Structure 1
Amino acid sequence: MKRNQKSQSLSPLKTSDLTIEQLSQEAEYEFPYHYVTQFKDGQFKHFFLDTWSINYASTIEFLLQRIDAGQGTRIVDIGCGDGRFSRELALAFQSSAVVGIDYSRRAIALALAMNTEIANLSFESVDITAKHPFGTFDVAVLMEVIEHIPIEDAVSFIRSVRALIKDGGVLYLTVPHENKPLEYKHHQHFSVEKIVECLTPSFEIAEVLPFERITWFRGLILNLLSNRLFILNSPRLLSMVYRWYKKNLFFCASEKDCQRIFVKAVAR
C-alpha cells in the first residue's frame, strides 16, 4: 500500500450543510485533541488537560482487544475525526489496510498531518451517504459516532454503513447510553433496545456490552486526575489510577449502571 497521500475530497459536506451540533464538533478540530491521551505498555499519561482521556484510552484498548482482524483485512474507521483511533488500529493490525473517513475536511487534514509515517493507514474526507469508490470492508468501526447523526438521518446513515461492509463482515461500535445526559454536540443517546432496533434491519447482533460503570468513585477519580488545585502528572500515580480504573470502573453489572454501550454486529 502507498504511504499517505494528499486526501482527495469525495463529495464532502459543505459547512453550510452541517447541523448546529456538527458545526460545534467542527470547531473543536482546531487542535488534534484526541492525541493528548498517551498509553503504552500499561503506562498512562495525559498531557495538557483532557478530562475525557481516561475514558478514551480505556475504550481504545478495549476495542483493540475485541476486534478480530487477520492478514489482509480491510478496516474502515467511520467518523474517524482527527484519526487517533485509526492510527491505533493501523499500529495494532499492521498486516491490515486501515482507512479513516470523516465528513470534516479539517479533521482529515489533521489526521493526515499526524500520521504521515504509517504505511497501512490512509484518510479520506467523504460523505458516506453519497457515491464513493471504496468498495466493501471486512471490518468497520463506529466509535462514538451515531450520536452525532441527526435523528431523521440515522436510518439512511446505518444503511450507508452497511453498504461499506461485505456480507458477513463485522461492525464494532460504541455509543453513549441514555443514562448519560445529552451533550451539546449530540443529537441522541441510546438504550440497548434503541441501538439494537437501529441496527437489526441490516445486521445480526452478536454481542452487546454496557460499560463505564456509574458510581461516585468515577467523580473521585476525575477529581484526582484534575481539580482546581492541581493536575496529576506523576507517571507512576497516573498509571496506578488508570489500572485501577480499568479493573473497577470500566465494566458494569447491568445496563442501568452504564454510561456507554458496545455492540458487535455482523452484516446480513
Structure 2
Amino acid sequence: MAEVATFAMSDQLLVVIDPVARRTDGESVRIAKDVLSAGAATKVCLPDDPDEFARALTRRGSRRPVVVGDDRALTRAVTLLHRQRELAECVLSVVPVGAALSLAESLGVPTGAVAAARAVLDGAERRLDLLVDDSDGVVLGGLHIPPIRDPAAPAGATAVGAGAGRPWLRTCQSLVRTLVPARGDSPAASGPSRLRVEVDGATLVDLDQPVEAVSVAPGVAGVAEVEVRPLSVGAEASPLLAAGRTVTVSGAHFRYRADTEVSGPVRTRTWVVREGAWGLTVPGRT
C-alpha cells in the first residue's frame, strides 16, 4: 500500500447505492445521502441489479463515484473499473453499509455512515496495490485456499424465520440437511490439498507435501505476501512464508476465496501484483 496523499476533491459526486444496502440498513443509507448532499453536488443512483449498477458507474462522466454498500459492492465496483481499464484514473469512495464490512475497514475506511461520508467529502486518496489474476479477476484484500466459509451464509443455513411457528417445516428441513450434503462441504473445500505454490518462479511448496491452507495478500512496495500452512502430523508445522510479485498455484482442481467471492475449480491460477493500481478515499491526516 502506498502512503496517503491529500488532494483536491471534486465536488461532483455520483452516489451509487447498492440494493442490498437499501434492504438491510435503510437508515444508514439515508444518513449517508444526507451528509453527502449537504457537502457536495450529488447525483444519486438506485440500481436494482448488477447490470444497472455497472451502467451507473460506466455513465458517471466527470463525477467522482461513491459506492454505498458492503464489501461485495466495493469489490464489484473495483472489478468493473479494472475491466474497463479506468481504475488507475478513477478515485473510488465507499460508505460501508451492510453486514460484511471487514474488507472496507481493513483498507482504512470508517464503518460508521457519518464518518465514512465525511471522509468522502474531506478525505484523501490512498493508492493501493491490487492482485490481478490470469482471468482478469482482482483481489483487494486477500485470497485463501481452501476458501474460508462465508460467515454470512454458513453451510446448511436456512433463511431467518424459515419454519418459525411451523414445527413440521423445521422437521423436514432438518431431515433434508441430514440426507443432502451442504453445498460447499466437499473434501476439496475442507481437507488437505496437494498444490504447487510458486513465488516469482521459485517453488515454495510442491505436490508431494499436502497443505492445509494457502493465503496471499497485497503487501507493501508492490509485493504479495504468501503463507502456506503444511499439513501438520503430530506437532504443528511451521508456516512457509514468502514475498514476491507473481504467485502461481497449480495442482488438482481447487477453489479459492478472493475477498468476498469463491471461484473455481481451476487447475492453475497466477496472480500478479499491480503496485498502486487503484485509489481509495480514506480519512485524511489530522
TM-score (norm 2): 0.28
Q: Which is helix-richer, 1 or 2?
A: 1
Q: Which is strand-richer, 1 or 2?
A: 2
TM-score (norm 1): 0.29
